[in-house]
């Protein structure tokens, strides 16, 4: 009779996510995962098939959590679009995890490590990036509709500029760059959306 599992599989995925996030895919061995999850290699393979499969599950877990958070924070809900955008970008570089020697964003880290060589990883990172682009596009469209942003604002171009800024911020956060300088870059990015002329 098979021995019942003595662990919570979802909890194991969460713990694996933290390990992969800190160390990256290539620097994390099956032995490392076994120690972190308190599993023997045979138990780990029996449950998750292999390291790559577990990594994809970890990436999916992070994406679901991160995407939901981003969509919530980028929901203007009657607030100033510029303020929502600024607060979200500041949050990205001021999160509690950032104190842990700059881990950056797991999706961005993964895209730079594996995105060009692993089709399954690339599909997931690009899907995550598109969620961010969509949330930014929705926010900017709301700003244009409300009159807070210029009527002639090129939404697609602005989304690409802000998205590229966000990726750069995540890399700089991981590198431990001064947050005051990152805040300056954020302010300039928000200002680049232009101003609205008020007549009368």
pLDDT of residue 151: 95
Whole-number pLDDT of residue 144: 95
Domains annotated on the chain, with CATH: 59-191 (1.10.357.10)
Helix boundaries (H) for the chain: 9-23, 30-37, 41-48, 51-73, 81-92, 106-114, 119-146, 155-174, 179-191
Helix axes 30-37, 41-48, angle to 10 degrees: 90
Alpha-carbon span 197 to 64, nearest angstrom: 40
pLDDT at 76: 77
Q: What is the full per-residue pLDDT of the chain (200 aa) written as tens digits? A: 344 455 689 999 999 999 999 999 999 999 999 999 988 888 889 999 999 999 999 999 999 988 778 878 888 788 899 999 999 999 988 865 544 556 889 999 999 999 889 999 999 999 999 999 999 999 999 999 999 999 999 999 999 999 999 999 999 988 889 999 999 999 999 999 988 665 54
Counting Cα atoms < 13 Å in the Cβ hemisphere of 191 gives 6
pLDDT at residue 100 in the model: 55
């Amino acid at each position: 009779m098979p021995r019942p599992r003595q662990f919570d599989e979802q909890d194991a995925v969460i713990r694996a996510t933290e390990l992969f996030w800190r160390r990256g895919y290539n620097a994390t061995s099956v032995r490392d995962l076994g120690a972190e999850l308190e599993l023997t290699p045979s138990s780990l393979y029996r449950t998750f098939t292999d390291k790559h499969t577990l990594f994809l599950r970890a990436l999916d877990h992070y994406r679901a959590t991160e995407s939901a958070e981003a969509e919530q924070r980028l929901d203007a809900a009657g607030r100033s679009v510029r303020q929502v955008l600024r607060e979200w970008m500041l949050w990205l570089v001021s999160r509690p995890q950032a104190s842990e020697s700059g881990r950056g964003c797991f999706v961005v880290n993964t895209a730079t490590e594996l995105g060009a060589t692993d089709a399954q990883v690339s599909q997931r990172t690009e899907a995550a990036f598109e969620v961010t682009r969509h949330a930014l596009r929705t926010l900017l469209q709301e700003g244009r509709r409300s009159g807070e942003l210029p009527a002639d604002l090129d939404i697609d171009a602005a989304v690409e500029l802000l998205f590229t800024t966000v990726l750069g911020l995540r890399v700089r956060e991981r590198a431990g760059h001064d947050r005051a300088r990152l805040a300056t870059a954020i302010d300039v990015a928000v200002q680049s959306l232009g101003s609205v002329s008020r007549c009368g």
